[in-house]
Structure 1
Amino acid sequence: MTATVSFPIDTPLGPRTATVTYERKGGGEPLLLLHGIGHHLQAWHPVMDILAAEHDVIAVDLPGFGASQPLPEGVAYSLGTVATALAGLCAALGVERPHVAGNSLGGLLALEMGRGNLVRSVTALSPAGFWTEGERRYAFAALRTMRAGAKALPLSAMERLSRTAAGRAALTGSIYARPARRSPEAVVAETLALRGATGFEETLAAGGSVRFTEDVPGLPVTIAWGTRDRLLLRRQGVRAKHTLPGARLVRLPGCGHVPMNDDPALVSRVVLDTARSTRLSAAAISNG
């Protein structure tokens, strides 16, 4: 079940209020889940039950996406501002330094939260920010094309396409390696989420100059990349490893840009292994 929370955030314009929608499930150490641009928290549904067996899982609609409200007027969709908003969300929910897993834009935000020492561990699935300028232009053009298609397509046509494997591939094949596995209802919902994302254009505009160039020391960090990612090519994972030399770099065979649906068991294992490593480290320290 989804819920909504409003909370104060500090911005260059002074204190403002953000309103965010989230789903919470399970118990244990908290685990924050962050989706990519134009998507919504339901991207994590294929893995939520597995993760919730060990964690207090909080899947979030980022500000301006899904059912969440846009950021307050005049507040930029910068990396620092959104990371600060997510820290405010955690405080409002009574969560201190969660583990965090993010995909694409969410992976970049997860790394930013790690850099700010706001989290216990980071799992970044095909994170943004490790592109060349040419790769960024390609990805942004693909995203704009997807958005234009979602806005142009009547709901009746969406529903009709979603009923066939070929139609689901046409609608979501850019981000999934196995789009036929998506349910018709999920495909329609995420196409509507892309159409209605109020933060889409401002996020893309802010992302034009974003490069993640600093290490995230002192935390377990996993960078995972789908071998069939068509949006952010997997060679960007090698650059991420060079930037974060202490991170674990994991291949996700047969997975696309949004891997949670392509291989839920593998993605869950990668996230859980990263979070467990913090407990193993703590145990090793306590045992001397």
Structure 2
Amino acid sequence: MKSTIAHTHLPGDGEPVVLIHGIGHRRQAWGEVPQLLNDRGYDVYVVDLPGHGASPTPTRPDGYSMRSTAEQFERFFVSHGIDTPHVVGNSLGGSVSLELAHNGAVGTATVLSPGGFFPVHHLPNIAANLLFMKVGSHLPEAVHRTLAGHTWFRKFAFRSLYTHPETVTVETAVGDTLNLRRSKGFWPHFFRATVMRFTKDVQVPTTVAWGDTDRLLLPSEAHTARTRLPEATHVTLPDCGHCPQHDHPDLVVDVVVATINRADRGAGPTEHEGVATQRPGA
């Protein structure tokens, strides 16, 4: 079966890297990260999850389960001649990346605030934030454009995703909101999330990175991830929210490159939880 996953390709001479966004988002959610990775020589693919962005909804026998989504990405790799890519996933995309890492279908996995590690009592916070954004997305586009032009509104509307939502541009804010409105994959993943738990191991070098100000999947969930994935490297991303690729793209790229380099050296996970640091001037 041919892959129908929509994507953007930034050709490079280095190893392939595939970027997978979160629930209700789109490939543009990665901001500067794809170009920064490409500038370092990597062959970069930025994808839309099935039922998100420009990717169509999956048709039978495909579906929205983590297993099926991972299988769809494995077919995407084959159909585009991508040999053992490094995957980077945020939120839902992080869960998909962990599934791929469990299958041994990728070279490394770098996951940013992945789903599947929250306790039951965190569900009201997750549901309230996601539903607030989803319901709000159905306001008329003209209203969105007017409101998004105000810094106070961007701070309010996107506080669950970013530490610095005021830096989101008006066009990005409106584009993300309209995309969320259209994302047919939102509801299937939203309802599956209530029972989603990642309890498997990973077969490839993996880094779990968590923003220290994440308001959607709370930083305390990083401790659960560390307990369930002792074979992974665990780092904290300072001054970063749920989507650190927006707050500090250089920092995210540094973590991705460190993961790839660790695999190239054949090194194991770090012994203790670390704090990722920004490069001078970042």
> Partner of 2:32 in structure 1?
46
Structure 1: distance between partners of 2:23 and 2:154: 19
Structure 2: distance between partners of 1:238 and 1:26: 37
Residue 3 of structure 2 contacts residue 79 of structure 2 at CA under 8 Å; is this kept in 1?
no
Determine if the alignment matches structure 1 residue 64 to structure 2 residue 86.
no
> Partner of 1:89 in structure 2?
76
Report how far residue 76 of structure 1 moved: 2.9
- The one-letter amino acid of 1:167's match is F
Q: Which of 235, 239, 249 is the equivalent residue of 2:234?
A: 249
Q: Deviations over 1:76-102 (max 9, x none)?
A: 310100010011111111112100000
Report how far residue 18 of structure 1 moved: 4.8
Q: Which of 155, 162, 170 is the equivalent residue of 1:169?
A: 155
- The one-letter amino acid of 2:246's match is N
- Secondary structure of the corresponding residue to residue 114 of structure 1: helix
Determine if the alignment matches structure 1 residue 186 to structure 2 residue 172.
yes
Q: Which of 240, 259, 267 is the equivalent residue of 1:274?
A: 259
Q: CA RMSD in A?
A: 1.4
Q: Give runs of aligned pairs for residues 146-157 of structure 1, distance below 5 A.
A: 146-151=133-138, 153-157=139-143
Q: Give runs of aligned pairs for residues 1-288 of structure 1, distance below 5 A.
A: 8=1, 18-27=3-12, 28-53=14-39, 54-72=41-59, 75-151=62-138, 153-217=139-203, 219-281=204-266
Structure 1: distance between partners of 2:127 and 2:62: 22
4+ aligned runs moved over 4 Å, structure 1: none
Structure 2: distance between partners of 1:264 and 1:136: 28
Structure 2: distance between partners of 1:82 and 1:136: 23
> Partner of 2:271 in structure 1?
none
Q: Deviations over 1:86-137 (max 9, x none)?
A: 1111111111210000000000100000000000001000000001112134
- The one-letter amino acid of 2:94's match is G
- Secondary structure of the corresponding residue to residue 9 of structure 2: strand
- The one-letter amino acid of 2:52's match is F
Report how far residue 140 of structure 1 moved: 2.4
Structure 1: 5+ residue stretches without partners:
1-7, 9-16, 283-288
Q: Deviations over 1:210-266 (max 9, x none)?
A: 10112214x211100001100000111111111111211111111110110101111
Report how far residue 164 of structure 1 moved: 2.3
Structure 2: 5+ residue stretches without partners:
268-282
Structure 1: distance between partners of 2:211 and 2:116: 16
TM-score normalised by L of structure 1: 0.88
Residue 19 of structure 1 contacts residue 69 of structure 1 at CA under 8 Å; is this kept in 2?
yes
Structure 2: distance between partners of 1:155 and 1:170: 18
Report how far residue 278 of structure 1 moved: 1.5
| Bigger fraction of residues in strand | 1
- Percent identity over the alignment is 38
How many residues matched? 265
